Amino acid sequence: MLNLSMEGLTLVVQNHYGILIVAVLSIAITSLLLKAWGSTVDTTDEDGIPGRLGLPFFGETFSFFSASYSTKGCYDFVKQRRKQYGKWFKTRILGKTHVFVPSVEGAKTILANDFVHFNKSYVKSMADATGAMSVFSVPHKIHTRIRRLLSDPFSMSSLSKFAVKFDKMVCERLDKLEKSGKSFRVIDFSLKITFDAIVSMLMSVTENPLLEQIEKDCTDVSNSMLSIPLMIPGTRYYKGMKGREKLNETFGNMIARRRSGEEYFDDFLQTMVDRDSYPEDEKLDDQEIIDNLITLILAGQTTTASAMMWCVKFLSENKDALDKLREEQLQIVRNKAEGASLTLEDLTEKSYGFKVVKETLRMANVLIWLPRVAMDDCILDGKV
Ligand code: HEM
């Protein structure tokens, strides 16, 4: 029988201190893993929606990312789960439970609801990439003001000027490519031309090395939009946040030069800076301008470039549609003087072209993910 005095007992505990710590830690880790394992198995809770929530916080983030960043695309993640669970399923991505809503009616209810029952809710990496004052992240009340001020410069007259500029840009680049006789990847061409066009329209930057620097920083920020939000050197998130710091500085200096009158261009940024003397709710401060310049570039570039790429692919597979579209274009060209540019009015005449774009966007989902958070309990397609 073990019969120890108090001192003896203290001695035993001190001698086995390391063993005790390991034992306590082992128990804690084992119970944590058991708990996590419980949540990795398929579940259909009281909400009646099947799915797998996976490990705490991470859930199925890695499967979602690996599909999104592969040639299969994020829809492969959805397809696999639909095979397993049916059209409705739930999952956990970056700490948030996501329910995939499969019906047109359900999507309409969520998206056309004016932020009363459903609000925007982007994951942390996306919100950090675009910035706290971006239209993507700000609360509804501020959103209305920022959105109104941002859309003001996109008037018909500035779009009209830009249509001519963009036409010239496309013709020059395609001409150069044709003369070089080299093959090229459509996505590279469309990413470059949309980036150059947006940056020219927003802030009149058209020359290297500044253009290249902004492009590199924006690409880093764009790549960090879906990433694990931890500042670990070498990761997408880390590079994205460093890119944001540089863009903050570049755009901040640009704004300062415009304000001092050292620089003037007839562009989007100038219309923002020219509002300085307006009342508070009729202007944007520096951080609001910077975050929304970044947002406009990120929101505009990949969407437009992928739509262009898919359009080319679908047309190359559908000769009738391509011939019809070409004929509509040639008809416009025949009615114009030799070498004249395409105008905004010409574009409104391209009714078949408009349908081709709409059909492309219907067939190829260029915006993969539109998360919304339910503000209260809701019923969609009979599910609570
Ligand atoms: C084919 C091209 C495009 C498609 C399919 C597209 C699609 C969309 C969609 C579906 C949304 C709503 C996102 C949500 O509510 O969560 C959105 C928002 C937005 N888009 Fe686009 N977009 C395109 C091009 C552009 C371009 C060229 C720009 C700017 C240069 C732009 C700027 C924005 C901005 C700023 C928002 C946020 C609006 C807000 O929250 O009020 N987009 N876009």
Average pLDDT over residues 128-150: 93
Q: Is the CB of 201 under 6 A from ligand 1?
A: no
Distances (CA, A) of 16 to 22, 25, 285: 10, 14, 62
Q: Is the dihedral of CA 322, 326, 327, 329 positive or negative?
A: positive
Ligand 1 near 50 CB (within 6 A): no
| Confidence tier at 254 by pLDDT (50, 70, 90) | very high
pLDDT in tens, 215-247: 999 999 999 998 999 999 999 999 999 999 999
| Mean pLDDT computed over 356-374 | 88
Q: Is residue 39's pLDDT more than 80?
A: no
- In the chain, the largest separation of any two C-alpha atoms, in whole Å, equals 110
Alpha-carbon span 293 to 298, nearest angstrom: 9
User: Is the CB of 301 inside a 6 Å radius of any atom of ligand 1?
Assistant: no
Q: 61: burial class by Cβ within 10 Å (0-12, 13-18, 19+)?
A: buried
Q: Which CATH superfamily does the domain covering 152-313 fall into?
A: Cytochrome P450 (1.10.630.10)
Residue 86 to residue 358: CA distance in whole angstroms: 28
Whether the CB-CB separation of 321 and 313 falls below 8 Å is answered with no
Structure confidence at residue 48 (pLDDT):
81
Q: Give me the pLDDT at residue 290, please.
A: 98
pTM for the whole thing? 0.84
Mutate to test the pocket of ligand 1, among 98, 304, 310 (most ligand atoms within 8 A of CB): 304
Task: Convert the pLDDT of each residue in 325-342 to its tens digit.
Answer: 999 999 999 999 988 989
User: Which pLDDT tens digit goes with each residue over 257-266?
Assistant: 999 999 999 9
For residue 269, which of 220, 216, 200, 211 has the smallest C-alpha distance? Answer: 200
Domain extent listing, the chain: 152-313
Is the bond preceding 229 in cis, omega lying within 30 degrees of 0?
no
Residue 298: CB within 6 Å of ligand 1?
no
Confidence of residue 41 (pLDDT cuts 50, 70, 90): low
pLDDT (0 to 100) of residue 13: 40
pLDDT of residue 140: 84
* Ligand 1 midpoint to CA 146 (Å): 14
Q: Which atom of ligand 1 is nearest to the CA of 147?
A: 41
Distances (CA, A) of 171 to 177, 178, 209: 10, 10, 23
